[in-house]
A = this chain, B = another copy of it.
Amino acid sequence: MSKKTTIYDIAKELNITAATVSRALNNNPKISAKTKELVFETAKKMHYEQNKLALALKSGKSFNVGVIVPRIDSNFFSSVIRGIEEELYPEGYHVIICQTHDQQELEIKNINSLLNAQVDGVLMSVSNANIEKLDGFKSLLKKNVPLIFFDRKKNIKNVSTITIDDYKGAYDATKHLIDQGCKRIAHLSNNRKLEIFKNRYLGYKQAIIDSGLTFDENLVVESFSKVLEGRKQTKLFLEMDNRPDAIFSSSDFTALGAIQEITSYGLRIPEDISVVGFSNEPFTKFMELSITSVDQSPREMGRIAAQIFLEEVNNDAKVKSEKHVVLSPELKIRKSSQKF
């Protein structure tokens, strides 16, 4: 292990003090141009690199931020992460990514673990499991570590959030189905204790009511965002006496499951049953039968989350204020719902 060179090494080399070296490296105006140059030169020569750990210990800043998401293998979350990176990298931050796999236990573990790693902030989308309890966040808030929710949020005072207008996204999607002539629109929902799913449900419901159609609670079911779950629930819809003529899904994955099940029944899409998903995952565009879906501009969401973090961390902010950004979703109309 070729010992890393420290400021002491280069100080010794130059017969000066480590303090002077430190100052020179940090461009302290009180250091003569000559010594500065000398220091920079020998620093390069000796392959000096600042030990961020020592700096972190000294300054209390690690320049690491934690990002907690349910999973990274969905285009939505990985795109958000990309947005976050784009914004934070140039500022010298690193991103530590944790997955909860929707398990509350892991979520809490992750938070504590990040806290121990002395992260400067946490950006997160709460897991499906962690709904009512706020315990997990107490430790964060108590230590005054900036916390920002994106997409799946909780309402906690002094905590900023960035979301999309799920209500509008769902409303527009449902309205679109109605405009295509659909009269009995089912809804594949998800855990409605999470705001995003509650709002998608409410937008869906309101669009139906506003259009003068009858709202039928039996056409709403909750399921996890998995392809097979979508199939299972859709099967139940298809076996109803009075089966729906459209399905608005709160997830692209369940929408895909719905399509598989509908097709396996020999029914046509969109003629017999139209389908709309949510998130605009890439595969929705690539299917032979492309899927109409609601785009959430995840990259933009990530960038904004990161910007909010930077504001919070830079404002020495005695007065902390919460900020709530809401992005507007965009309906991408494709074959699975376009009858004409």
Contacts and interface: CB of A to CB of B under 8 A. Distances in A.
Contact of A81 (B52, B72, B143): B72
A56 interface: yes
Contacts of A99: 82, 85
B4 A143 contact: yes
A4 B57 CA distance: 13
* A57, A94, A143 — most chain B CB neighbours (10 Å): A94
Contact of A53 (B50, B72, B118): B118
Interface residues of A, number: 48
Interface stretch (A8-16, A31-39, A182-190, A286-294): A286-294
A115 interface: yes
B96 A94 contact: yes
A75 B74 CA distance: 8
A143 B97 contact: no
Contacts of A49: 112, 115-116
- Top 10 closest pairs, chain A to chain B, by CB: A73-B78, A1-B144, A53-B57, A72-B78, A97-B97, A283-B283, A53-B118, A52-B116, A53-B56, A57-B57
25 contacts: A2-B144, A51-B118, A52-B116, A52-B117, A52-B118, A53-B53, A53-B118, A57-B57, A71-B78, A72-B72, A72-B81, A73-B73, A73-B75, A73-B78, A73-B79, A73-B82, A78-B78, A94-B113, A94-B114, A97-B97, A227-B286, A263-B288, A283-B286, A287-B288, A288-B288
A256 interface: yes
A142 B256 contact: no
A99 B82 CA distance: 8
B94 A95 contact: no
Q: Which of A64, A96, A117 has the most CB of B within 10 A?
A: A117
Contacts of A72: 72-73, 78, 81-82
Interface in A183-219: none
A46 B286 CA distance: 55
Contacts of A260: 286, 288
A62 interface: yes
A82 B74 CA distance: 13
Contacts of A286: 227, 256, 260, 283
